[in-house]
Amino acid sequence: MSWLLSFLPPAPITWDGIATVVAAILAAAIVALGFLHERRQHARSRRAEAYAGALQAVSDYLEAPYRVRRRSGVAADRFALTAHVSEIQSRLDFYTAHLALIAPKVLDAYVELVAAAKAEAGPQMSAAWKARPTRRDSDVPLVVPYSHPRADAARAVVLAAMKSHP
């Protein structure tokens, strides 16, 4: 029976038909725009998480001299600290590669930040390893904090690059 309908002449186009087609096209466009907006927001959120992780890895590296300085002197502590510093190094390498893929415009500033952190915290860690281990609670507070002005300046540049990256 339906084959019979195919021989009938097409119905004339009415304003109701045009309105239905326009409404369908408009609804499809709204759904597509919503999907694109959601996708963009998700990508921005993932990038922000990557940025935060990259900055945290540098902060952990800058914090490492404090942890070394406050070690107890037990062999297990030495092993744990060296493993911790090695894990930080691995995360620095990971985020350098990750930023190269997701935010190449931020990469150069981040590489400079990592270099500054290593140049400042590396010698501080070496000196901390040479210092006597902590024996008393009163030895834990350091009178003078470790300074890292080059890393602080590089961090400000990285943050500016991250904020300007779409």
Task: Write out pLDDT tens, residues 27-42.
Answer: 888 888 877 778 888 7
The mean of the pLDDT values for the chain is 88
The per-residue pLDDT for 3 is 60
The per-residue pLDDT for 159 is 96
- The domain ranges of the chain are 47-131+146-164
Residues 65, 146 contacting (CB under 8 angstroms): yes
pTM for this entry: 0.77
Task: Write out pLDDT tens, residues 60-112.
Answer: 999 999 999 888 888 999 999 999 999 999 999 999 999 999 999 999 999 99
DSSP, res 138: G
Q: How far is CA 86 from CA 29, 89, 150, in A?
A: 51, 5, 22
Residue 143 scores a pLDDT above 60: yes
